[in-house]
Amino acid sequence: MAQKMNKPDLKVVGEIKPPDYRDPVKMLRNLADDIEAGNYGAVHTIAIATFGDDGLQLFGGGDDSVGPTVQMVFHAAAIKMSQSLVDFESIL
């Protein structure tokens, strides 16, 4: 005869919250705090892209935030992200 299995007692031990990078506002605040703390050295230019209900929005700021510099930062970021995909694929 098969034994009846008992369900274990499950207890709620707390809420699991996603990391701050999942919250755009928290992520930006943390980034600003890190920049202010000098965690990235002297930051002269920032380029931020947002994507939401209003589509793609691009922002640039800093001492050197003219259009061509911000465009170069976005382009360099795209290349760096693409290269990380190539590097990742080579280890598979």
Tens of pLDDT, residue by residue over 23-69, are 899 889 989 999 999 999 999 999 999 999 999 999 999 999 999 99
Structure tokens, 25: 């506002």
What pLDDT is recorded for position 90? 64
Element (H, E) at 86: helix 67-90
pTM listed for this prediction = 0.68
Work out how many domains the chain is built from and give that number.
1
d(CA 61, CA 69): 10
Looking at the domain assignment, is residue 14 inside a domain? no
Q: How far apart are CA 86 and CA 81, in angstroms?
A: 9
Residue 46, domain member (yes or no): yes
- 78 within a domain of the structure (yes/no): yes
Q: Using CA atoms, how far apart are residues 43 and 32, in angstroms rounded to an integer?
A: 11
Domain membership of residue 9 (yes or no) is: no
In a domain? residue 11: no
Residue span of the structural domain in which 63 resides: 20-90
Task: Let me know: does 45 contact 73? Beta carbons within 8 Å.
Answer: yes
